[in-house]
């Protein structure tokens, strides 16, 4: 039986681990390899690492860093940042990464999704949708380049299209909620969840285990991802890598799925 997943998301800038708020003001919080080692000990379900510089700087992925991360990881690893060709996707998978996340390049060239899926299998191709509200009507729109470039795409329509193109998973990230630690945008999740049957991971806004529980209660088998929740501790946001124990996680899932 498939179970929900709890997934730390690590942001990398200049090879350091950072955390942002609203995709802005990156704060250095440590070494990503050290974070991976700690998450290994905590037996996390899966790990997502995103290089937030690569696309903005129009450069290739940092293959050395990716290889080092993959060598350290004892859990499935998803990498994103600067990936623009199926050859790059294949190279990253060959380094020991299980999934490759596409964002700006997929928006610019949707056929990349199909080509990458043909090369490495759809299960290894993830499409990230960074979404924020725009205009007087506060409609949802997909953005790229660290939230600085509007795509004109509606996330519901885009989710349907990426499924048709052969993606294996969607990561739905709320730019408005990023780093706020006030809970997920469940309205956004609901709209996109109804549009696709693909596995989905939700990111942006989790501030407590209660937020993860609320997401699982409403949507069942889903990926609950977070950044701040797993790198900060307490109201003063002291840097402390953390993750729920196996017993805490089992209890969270049991409560959520019982009350679904």
pTM for this predicted structure:
0.94
Q: 36 φ, ψ to 5°? A: -60, -45
Alpha-carbon distance 24 to 185, whole Å?
19
User: Which homologous superfamily is 5-258 in?
Assistant: Aldolase class I (3.20.20.70)
pLDDT at 26: 86
- Dihedral of CA 223/126/56/33: which sign? positive
The structure tokens listed for 223 are: 């990926």
Which of helix, strand or coil describes residue 5? strand
Catalytic one of 130, 176, 178, 185: 130
Domain spans of the chain, in order of start:
5-258
Alpha-carbon distance 33 to 35, whole Å?
5
Instruction: Please name the helix (run of DSSP H) or strand (run of DSSP E) that holds residue 9, with its range, or none.
Output: strand 5-13
pLDDT at 223: 97
127-148: pLDDT as tens digits: 999 999 998 889 999 999 999 9
Using CA atoms of 213, 218, 224, 230 in order, give the dihedral in degrees to the nearest 10: -30
- Active-site residue flag, 211: no
The structure tokens listed for 107 are: 């928006």
Give every residue of the chain whose pLDDT is below 70, as ranges. Answer: 1, 236, 259-260
- Dihedral of CA 27/64/10/147: which sign? positive
Residue 18 in contact with residue 11, Cβ under 8 Å? yes
């Amino acid at each position: 039986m498939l179970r929900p997943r709890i997934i730390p998301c690590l942001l990398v800038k200049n090879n350091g681990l950072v955390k942002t708020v609203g995709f802005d003001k990156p704060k250095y919080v440590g070494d990503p390899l050290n974070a991976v080692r700690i998450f290994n000990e905590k037996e996390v379900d899966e790990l997502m690492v995103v290089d937030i510089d690569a696309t903005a700087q129009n450069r290739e992925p940092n293959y050395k860093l990716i290889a080092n991360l993959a060598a350290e990881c004892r859990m499935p690893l998803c990498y994103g940042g600067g990936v623009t060709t199926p050859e790059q996707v294949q190279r990253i998978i060959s380094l020991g990464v299980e999934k490759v996340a596409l964002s700006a390049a997929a928006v610019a060239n949707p056929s990349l999704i199909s080509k990458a899926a043909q090369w490495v299998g759809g299960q290894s191709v993830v499409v990230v949708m960074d979404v924020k509200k725009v205009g007087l009507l506060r409609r949802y729109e997909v953005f790229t380049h660290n939230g600085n470039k509007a795509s004109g795409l509606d996330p519901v329509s885009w989710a349907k299209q990426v499924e048709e193109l052969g993606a294996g998973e969607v990561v739905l990230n709320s730019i408005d909620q990023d780093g706020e630690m006030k809970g997920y945008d469940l309205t956004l999740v609901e709209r996109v969840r109804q549009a696709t049957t693909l596995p989905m991971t939700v990111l942006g806004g989790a501030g407590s285990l209660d937020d993860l529980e609320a997401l699982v209660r409403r949507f069942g088998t889903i990926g609950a991802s977070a950044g701040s929740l797993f790198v900060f501790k307490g109201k003063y946001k002291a840097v402390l890598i953390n993750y729920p124990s196996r017993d805490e996680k089992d209890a969270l899932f049991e409560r959520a799925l019982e009350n679904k």
